[in-house]
Amino acid sequence: MHHLLLLQKIIANCQKISQLRCVIGVIISGTSLIQQLTKNLEGLRDGKMVSYKQFSELLLLNPSPLEQQKIAECLGSVDELIAAQARKLDALKTHKKGLMQQLFPREGETQPRLRFPEFQNAGKWEASPLIGLSSVGLRNGVFNDPKKVGTGFKLINVSDMYIDTTIDEGRLSLLELALSDFEANQVIHGDIFFTRSSLVKSGIAVSNIYLGSSSDVTFDGHLIRFRTNTSKVIPLFTHYLFKTAPIRAQLIARGKTATMTTIGQADVSSVILFYPERKEQQRIADCLTTLDDLIAAQTQKLEALKTHKKGLMQQLFPSPQEVET
- Report pLDDT digits (tens) over 119-151: 998 889 999 999 999 999 999 999 999 999 999
Tell me if 155 sits within 8 A of 219, measured CB to CB.
Answer: yes
172 or 325: whose pLDDT is higher?
172
Check pLDDT > 80 for residue 17: no
* Average pLDDT for 157-164: 93
Residue 67, pLDDT score: 84
* Average pLDDT for 298-324: 83
The CA distance from 86 to 303, in Å, is: 10
Check pLDDT > 50 for residue 1: no
* Average pLDDT for 175-204: 96
Residue 64, pLDDT score: 79
Kindly provide the residue ranges of all beta strands, DSSP E only, lying in the chain, ordered along the sequence: 3-6, 42-44, 47-49, 59-62, 126-129, 134-140, 149-156, 173-175, 192-195, 197-198, 207-209, 217-219, 223-228, 256-257, 261-262, 272-275
Query: Strand 256-257 to strand 173-175: parallel, antiparallel, or no bridges (unpaired)?
Result: unpaired
Check pLDDT > 60 for residue 271: yes
Residue 313, pLDDT score: 83
Check pLDDT > 70 for residue 7: no
Residue 232, pLDDT score: 97
Residue 316, pLDDT score: 81
51 or 272: whose pLDDT is higher?
272
Nearest Cα to Cα of residue 134 among 8, 289, 270: 270
273 or 5: whose pLDDT is higher?
273
Residue 4, pLDDT score: 46
Q: Which CATH architecture has domain 126-275?
A: Alpha-Beta Complex (3.90)
* Average pLDDT for 91-108: 95
Q: Model confidence over 275-307: pLDDT tens digits?
A: 999 999 999 999 999 999 999 999 999 999 999
The pTM assigned to this predicted structure is 0.81
Check pLDDT > 60 for residue 186: yes
Check pLDDT > 60 for residue 10: no
Check pLDDT > 80 for residue 164: yes
Check pLDDT > 60 for residue 18: no
Q: Model confidence over 215-245: pLDDT tens digits?
A: 999 999 999 999 999 999 999 999 999 999 9
* Average pLDDT for 68-76: 85
Residue 225, pLDDT score: 98
CB-count burial class (<10 Å; 0-12, 13-18, 19+) for 225: buried
Beta bridge partners of 128: 273
Tell me which long-range contacts 117-123 makes (C-beta under 8 A, separation of at least 24).
Answer: 118/283, 119/276, 119/279, 119/280, 119/283, 122/276, 122/277, 122/280, 123/276, 123/277
The CA distance from 39 to 184, in Å, is: 57
* Average pLDDT for 181-189: 97
Residue 162, pLDDT score: 93
What mean pLDDT, rounded, does the chain reach? 87
| Angstrom distances, CA of residue 77 to CA of 15, 17, 228 | 20, 14, 49
Residue 61, pLDDT score: 64
Q: Model confidence over 248-269: pLDDT tens digits?
A: 999 999 999 989 999 999 999 9
